[in-house]
Amino acid sequence: MRVLIVQPIHESGVNLLKSAGFEVVYASNPDPKIVAKEIKGIDGVIVRTAPFTSEIIEQADALKVISRHGVGVDNIDIESASKKGILVLNTPGVNDISVAEHTIAIILALSKRIRDIDSAVRIGKFDIREEYSIIDIDGKTLGIIGFGRIGSLVAKKCRYAFNMKILVYDPYVDEDRVKGVDGELVDLETLLRESDFVTIHAPLSSETKGLIGEKELRLMKPSSFIINMARGPIWDETAVAKALSEGWIKGAGTDVFVEEPPSKDNPLLKFNNIILSPHMAALTRECVMRMAMGAAQGVIDVLTGKSPKSIVNYSLLKKYGKL
Ligand code: NAD
């Protein structure tokens, strides 16, 4: 059986597939038009962030499993896959630690102005120290949008390591879970008004697309910061740029963009008071191994008739009578 890897993964996952007896092939380019031509005769695929569209799925004649290396599955046309009875898997629980640590790195970089002070020292502006412009995060309020695996871990670490006060907005969790990290479940407006730091950890969906726009950013304190660790389209990049330039907020951080890589004229690239990273919160050495092995194991499980750990489209497969 043949497994197609759309974008490179850590060799540990490739070796796992090979040792299970599968032939591993690589897409010559992640462009859906090219993958659609190369999908014929493929039994399983491992997908990272490149779009895995209906155009590809329509051309698949042997495909049984799409295994997402990571968590967010918004790049996969799950509906089309489910109609064809193709299982869509992901690897939850393997990147929580890495993304939570990256979030905290950005919270600290913003509060301590790491980017600015490093540049200042290099150009002889040692007196930046007299501005008294950096802050402690101890006792500050952290608002978490999306209290799943990553959001709840950020909450736990920030509550207990940094003594931050935790507010949570998540319509799908109950109060007891939030109380478990000594936090408080609130509505989105309260969270935006009261938080010193807001961090986004919800999945991209029709409900969360554009969740943070001009109206929401205007509710935030001028001294506050907002961080997007989830998906670019959850916030309106133009509105964030406006908030940064007009001082509705103090600063921001993001690991994700509406278009990746962002084009040169992306408005967020113009500001110094935003920390940018290239969608790599989960790409620590440890995490890429966990994701590669998890995604490969999912393919092996399905193709050898075992139950995979995490089926994303279980209810859709049922709906289309494919289970
Ligand atoms: P998860 O499924 O464990 O948690 C998501 C949480 O968001 C759930 O608690 C859910 O109830 C909540 N949610 C759903 N709709 C919401 C809404 N409208 N408003 C507020 N909350 C809502 O997922 P996770 O593992 O914590 O990952 C969260 C997201 O982070 C992923 O979907 C992915 O897009 C993103 N992510 C980014 C990176 C990265 O490299 N930057 C890595 C991993 C995951």
CATH code linked to domain 2-94+286-319: 3.40.50.720
User: What is the full DSSP assignment across 216-244?
Assistant: HHHHS-TT-EEEE-S-GGGB-HHHHHHHH
**From 38, 231, 237, 290, the catalytic residue:** 231
From ligand 1's centre to the CA of 77, what distance in Å? Answer: 18
User: What is the C-alpha to C-alpha distance for residues 32 and 51, in angstroms, rounded to an integer?
Assistant: 7
Instruction: Say yes or no: CB of residue 174 within 6 Å of ligand 1.
Output: no
> What are φ and ψ of residue 144, in 5° steps?
-110, 120
| 10 assigned to active site | no
Q: Report residue 187's pLDDT band, with 50, 70 and 90 as the boundaries.
A: very high
Is 259 one of the annotated active-site residues of the chain? no
What CA–CA distances, in Å, run from 38 to 22, 59, 62, 159?
A: 17, 9, 12, 48
Span from the CA of 203 to the centroid of ligand 1 (angstroms): 4
Q: What is the pTM of this model?
A: 0.93
CA 43 to chain CA centroid, nearest Å: 27
pLDDT confidence of 144, banded at 50, 70, 90?
very high
CA distance 57 to 77: 8
pLDDT given for residue 190 in this prediction: 98
Say how far apart CA 140 and CA 130 lie, in whole Å: 23
Alpha-carbon span 201 to 147, nearest angstrom: 7
Question: Does residue 257 line the site of ligand 1, with CB under 6 A?
Answer: no
Architecture of domain 96-276: 3-Layer(aba) Sandwich (3.40)
- Taking the centre of ligand 1 as the mean of its atom positions, its distance from the CA of residue 212, in whole angstroms, is 15
d(CA 34, CA 256): 25
Closest CA to 73 of 316, 305, 321: 316
Q: What are the distances in angstroms from CA 223 to CA 200, 226, 305?
A: 18, 10, 55
- Is the separation of the CB atoms in 143 and 190 below 8 Å? no
What would the two tokens of residue 283 be? Answer: 């790409």
- Looking at this protein, which amino acid is placed at residue 215? K
Our mutation pick for probing the ligand 1 site, out of 69, 71, 275, counting the most ligand atoms within 8 A of Cβ, is 71
Q: Is 230 in the pocket of ligand 1 (CB under 6 A)?
A: yes
Nearest atom, ligand 1, residue 281 CA: 40
231 is catalytic: yes
Per-residue model confidence (pLDDT) at position 161: 98
User: Does residue 99 have its Cβ closer than 6 Å to ligand 1?
Assistant: yes
Residue 100 token pair: 């939570």
What pLDDT does 323 receive? 86
Percent of the chain with pLDDT over 70: 100
281 CA distance to ligand 1 centroid (A)?
14
Per-residue buried b or exposed e for 20-29, using 16+ beta carbons within 10 Å of the residue's own CB: bebebeebee
Average pLDDT of the residues of the chain: 97
Q: Which amino acid is at 240?
A: V
Instruction: Give me ligand 1 centre to Cα 175, in Å.
Output: 18
Q: Active site residue: 11, 189, 260, 286, which one?
A: 260
Type of residue numbered 219: L
What are 92-140's pLDDT values in tens digits?
A: 999 999 999 999 999 999 999 999 999 999 999 999 999 999 999 999 9
Q: What are the start-end ranges of the H helices in the chain?
A: 11-19, 32-38, 54-59, 78-83, 96-111, 114-122, 149-162, 175-179, 188-194, 214-219, 237-246, 285-303, 314-319
Q: CATH 3.40.50.720 in the chain: give the residue spans.
A: 2-94+286-319, 96-276
